Amino acid sequence: MNQFDLIVVGSGPAGRRGAIQAAKLGKKVLVIEQGKRVGGVSVHTGTIPSKTLRETALNLSGWRERGFYGRSYRVKEEISADDLRQRLIITLNHEVEVLEHQFARNRVQQMRGKARFVDPTTLEVVKDDGETMLVSGTSIMLAVGTKPFRPDYMPFDGKTVLDSDELLDISELPRSLVVIGAGVVGIEYATIFSALDTQVTVIDPKTTMLDFIDKEIVEDFIYQLRDRNMKLHLGHKADTVERLDNGKVLLTLDNGRRITSDMVLFAAGRMGATDTLNLAAAGLEADSRGRLKVNPETFQTSVPNIYAAGDVVGFPSLASTSMEQGRIAARVAVGAIAMEPQKYFPYGIYAVPEISTCGLSEEEVKDRGIPYECGMARFRETSRGHIMGLDSGLLKMIFSLKTRRLLGVHIIGEGATELVHIGQAVLNLKGTVEYFVENTFNYPTLAEAYKIAGLDAWNRMGEIKPTA
């Protein structure tokens, strides 16, 4: 009864997609989850909570309507932490119910408890009630995700100095917030709280941020942040973080600057949640950040029957790519054919404003020596943008001068993470600038920006010369 075709440790995006895929192929599958409810970090502390918090903040603050009614416009004058939490609880309950139903109808077995390796095919599970159980799998997939990096020198207390998991449980919204770390997680939360009129300061030892995003998009992003009075201390680090008797926190930067804040969010990286798995017993070893090395095509580790997928294998650490990694890993693990994933996938940053990108950045195109042309469209140039009251937002496309093919699409502004999929489809289908020029887009829509940007590039590239 304790022998399975595939055992999946973790029920986040990679784990659940992999488990259901294997079950649909008629395999006996067990999912082990150490949390009280299924869903993993994505559902309970990561992707879904942060995006729900963002949507609630934008709705209650009236952020999207301020282009028409001014910066003082509010839907709800006094927004509390409880206002944000109410919607979060409803959303999380729904996500868990959907996932539980998917497992049930696909006959995926579940077990609550902490798993650790006994040998490469056997796991010991300490269940919630203290009972210990051994389970064996022909193949094992590790989809344990990550947890916040918590250095010893940071005085975490869960109230004024927090990590990104603890931030979801705050009892009241701070008037001021310092975010240490200008990565995706830090920037998302920094801009969400800024939209709630919290005075936000971002500190990062690097002089740049979001280096994998097209530089022109990042420059536009930084301009918008500073325009709404967010403070960015890039190229500096916090030497000391001290809790004061009055309940505030004092930070001293390496340049001598002192900043006092109601709350500090430490969001400088995450660690693979592999420390309790007893990897050595399976012949595996994690890197300094707790991540596992895998074959990027099969997601197989150095131990043939053990696979890993999701955030635990590192970049890009997206829920969307984790799902696909889990599906591919499960297919390979049970001996099914797995198609190679499409070359280009979209990257979404759910900040305020949103950023989404797919394909090559302008910097990458230059580094490869590809002759190119760019097409640009600002959302305020579209009728839909006027209707929505948008005064910002930008879509940029990069085309090869030689082949005329689309090389990259980069978007900042309202709906960026939705709009990017048009560019993604054209990229993967090797479409050219003519697609955007010759096709009709719904009017009025923000998607019309593709037509505008396409024409912008086409006007400089010129028409295709007819061949004799």
Residue 354's nearest CA partner among 416, 401, 311 is 416
- Tell whether the model's pLDDT for residue 120 goes beyond 70: yes
**Amino acid (one-letter) located at 213:** I
Number of DSSP helices (H) and strands (E) in the chain, helices first: 13, 21
- Tell whether the model's pLDDT for residue 117 goes beyond 90: yes
Q: Which two tokens stand for residue 424?
A: 């993604």
Please report where in the chains the tokens 């109410």 appear, as a residue. 86
Check the CA dihedral 140-145-149-152 and report its sign.
Answer: negative
Buried b (16+ CB within 10 A) or exposed e, 156-170: beeebbbbbbbbbeb
Q: What is the mean pLDDT of the chain?
A: 94
Question: pLDDT > 70: what percent of the chain?
Answer: 99
- Alpha carbons 267 and 277: distance in angstroms, whole number: 24
- Alpha carbons 457 and 453: distance in angstroms, whole number: 6
The torsion angles phi and psi of 139, rounded to 5 degrees, stand at -130, 150
- Alpha carbons 394 and 405: distance in angstroms, whole number: 20
Check the CA dihedral 405-408-413-415 and report its sign.
Answer: positive
Instruction: Calculate the alpha carbon distances from 368 to 140, 212, 307, 363 in Å.
Output: 39, 16, 33, 9
- Tell whether the model's pLDDT for residue 213 goes beyond 80: yes
- Alpha carbons 379 and 447: distance in angstroms, whole number: 9
Dihedral class, residue 430 (left if φ above 0, else alpha if ψ from -120 to 50, else beta): left
Instruction: Calculate the alpha carbon distances from 34 to 2, 129, 321 in Å.
Output: 18, 12, 23
Band the pLDDT of 1: cuts 50, 70, 90: low
Residue 379's nearest CA partner among 363, 393, 358, 397 is 393
Residue 238's nearest CA partner among 210, 263, 277, 204 is 204
Question: pLDDT > 90: what percent of the chain?
Answer: 84
Q: What is the mean pLDDT of residues 246-253?
A: 96
Q: What is the mean pLDDT of residues 264-289?
A: 95
Band the pLDDT of 274: cuts 50, 70, 90: very high
pLDDT digits (tens, 9 = 90+) for 29-56: 999 999 888 888 777 777 888 999 999 9
pLDDT digits (tens, 9 = 90+) for 426-445: 999 999 999 999 999 999 99
Residue 307's nearest CA partner among 338, 270, 346 is 338
Q: What is the mean pLDDT of residues 209-230?
A: 96
What's the confidence (pLDDT) of residue 324? Answer: 94
Half-sphere exposure for 154 (CA within 13 Å, toward CB): 21
- Tell whether the model's pLDDT for residue 413 goes beyond 80: yes
Half-sphere exposure for 233 (CA within 13 Å, toward CB): 21
Distant-in-sequence, close-in-space partners of 78: CB < 8 Å, separation ≥ 6: none
According to DSSP H, which parts of 62-170 are helical? 66-69, 81-105
What's the confidence (pLDDT) of residue 467? Answer: 65
- Weakest-pLDDT range from 65-69, 113-117, 307-311: 65-69
What's the confidence (pLDDT) of residue 468? Answer: 54
- Alpha carbons 240 and 270: distance in angstroms, whole number: 21
Q: Which two tokens stand for residue 223?
A: 């301009």
The whole-model pTM stands at: 0.92
Q: What is the mean pLDDT of residues 396-421?
A: 97
Dihedral class, residue 272 (left if φ above 0, else alpha if ψ from -120 to 50, else beta): beta
- Alpha carbons 366 and 372: distance in angstroms, whole number: 8
pLDDT digits (tens, 9 = 90+) for 346-392: 999 999 999 999 999 999 999 999 999 999 999 999 999 999 989 89
- Weakest-pLDDT range from 70-84, 176-190, 284-298, 350-364: 70-84
Taking CB atoms within 8 Å and a gap of at least 24, the contacts of 206-211 are 206/182, 206/234, 206/235, 207/234, 207/235, 208/234, 209/182, 209/183, 209/234, 210/182, 210/183, 210/184, 210/349, 210/355
The torsion angles phi and psi of 3, rounded to 5 degrees, stand at -105, 130
Residue 102's nearest CA partner among 329, 398, 323, 346 is 323
